[in-house]
Amino acid sequence: MARLRIASCQINTRVGALDANVEAILAALRVAEEAGCDLAVLPELAITGYPPEDLLLKPGFIADNLAALEKVAAATGDCVAVVGFVDRGRDLWNAAAVCAHGEVVGTYRKRELPNYAVFDEARYFAEGDEPAQLWSIGGVSVGVSICEDAWNPAGPILDQADSGAEVIVNLNASPYAEGKLARRERMMATRAADASCALVYTNQVGGQDELVFDGGSMVFDAEGRLLARSPQFVEDVMIVDLEVEPVYRKRLLDPRGRPTDRLLPLNVGFSDEVEASATPNAADDAPLAALSVAPELDPDEEVYRAIVLGTRDYLVKNGFRDVVIGLSGGIDSTLVAVVAADAIGAEHVHGVSMPSRYSSDHSKSDAQLLAENLGIDFRTIPIEPAHAAMLQMLAPSFEGRDADLTEENLQSRLRGLTLMALSNKFGWIVLSTGNKSEVAVGYATLYGDTVGGYSVLKDVYKTRVYELCRWRNAQGDAPVIPEGVITKPPSAELRPDQRDDQ
């Protein structure tokens, strides 16, 4: 029976950076070629990056995407590459190109277009409507599907399996959410078992604006058993040898695949056969690729790694080298500083303490100790002179009114002003330090602690901030976060004896 050696190429792409994406694709294909693979699977829209959004409304961008695909196809040899791109005709399609021997030999167009949550594909793309099509690669019938196609139990995967597919590849750009890896695994295992097909699920990895793609690419056999999984949050080329014989064995015993039980009319369209000549199919006794199932991460580690990757890629992909953070000695700014140091290196992180008359000694010392533990640049710029001047300037207008939140918020806004001045002068991007709980209830100062080009904790609740700090402190030889930061009562320190938890 035939054996197919497959490379699942979990790469990090950039939206709109066609040349960089082509280089990343070609680098992965070189690894696949050197490993003697018959087939290499790249992520959804790997050429353009995901999600391309309104770039899709620019005809020049679509043309450039097609030219980039031709570069990828021209570089292919015996190893067949399945690459996500934007196809053009009377409409636009989210598509996958099947490339081999220097050319594009076939195309699949995504049928199920998600239009919920962060997805807006129906705005840009038409649904694919071609009959089920298979490609013969090294004597194995292979079907191609894209992301949401696999979430429909009666969708393209079942059609392709009924048409005779033995292996189905699924190209993905599936964003991270906590616990989603397990949900994906259950879903794909079910699809593989129901279709009596081996299934290769290839996801992209990396941050793109507000989204994080965690990778976690997987391969399942025809029984729905997990054979291999790439680690989350890192690029990876996973090599897997798939034996086709178990697919035949499973179908012989599964009546759901018999013609009398098929619910949909079948239209089988085989392209011209694409033959791969890599070692595994040439010699059935060749050594099998070692299979590895990357372990699931602890929930706190998973969330922390997602935050670090999202922060790093936002900075790198937008051309920022250094960040500046207001270090109050509180737990939120502390976690942001630690994430930033882990993401881009301590030498690129600048912490600023901006004490006022209400800042406690322990908060000031905690901020300094954190900076020393991390090895980041640290400076103190007191806002008291500016605060006093503002109060004096506004005194005539405020005459006869009691002090309230106005005077408190002045301090936060002066800190934001200071950080933005440093940003303008040195080209450092300000990382804001507010968490999701504060934003949800409005416990924040507009033009104050909301200042910043990227909000690291925008999707992290306050309770999780504490959990992540404790998890991070448990890593390495010694805790980097001063224990007092975690244990002291939370306070904005904008008035005497203020407590955030009362």
Cis peptide before 246 (omega within 30 of 0): no
- Per the structure block, which two tokens stand in for 451? 């200042």
Burial (CB count within 10 angstroms: exposed 0-12, middle 13-18, buried 19+), residue 488 = middle
In the 8-state DSSP scheme, what is residue 253?
A: H
- Per the listing, tokens 């935050």 go with 307
Which phi and psi (to 5°) does residue 220 adopt? -125, 150
Residue 99 bears catalytic tag:
no
The catalytic position among 9, 37, 79, 147 is 147
The Cα-based distances of 54 to 16, 33, 58, 65 in angstroms read 10, 35, 7, 14
Give the DSSP H/E element, type plus range, for residue 378: strand 377-380
Residue 469 bears catalytic tag:
no
Contacts of 398 (CB under 8 A, 6+ apart): 406
The Cα-based distances of 372 to 344, 482, 485 in angstroms read 17, 11, 14
Q: Which of 265, 155, 189, 199 is nearest to 6 (CA)?
A: 199
- Per the structure block, which two tokens stand in for 319? 């051309």
Crossing angle (nearest 10°) for helices 331-344 and 299-317: 70
Share in percent of the chain as helix, strand, coil (round to 5): 40, 20, 40
Contacts 24+ apart (CB under 8 A), 23-32: 25/72, 25/81, 25/83, 26/72, 26/75, 28/237, 29/72, 29/75, 29/76, 29/79, 29/81, 31/7, 31/237, 32/7, 32/79, 32/81, 32/237, 32/239
The catalytic position among 79, 110, 166, 462 is 110
d(CA 432, CA 375): 20
The catalytic position among 44, 148, 438, 493 is 44
Residue 384 bears catalytic tag:
no
In sequence order, the β-bridge partners of residue 359 are: none
- Per the structure block, which two tokens stand in for 241? 């040898």
Residues acting as catalytic residues = 44, 110, 147
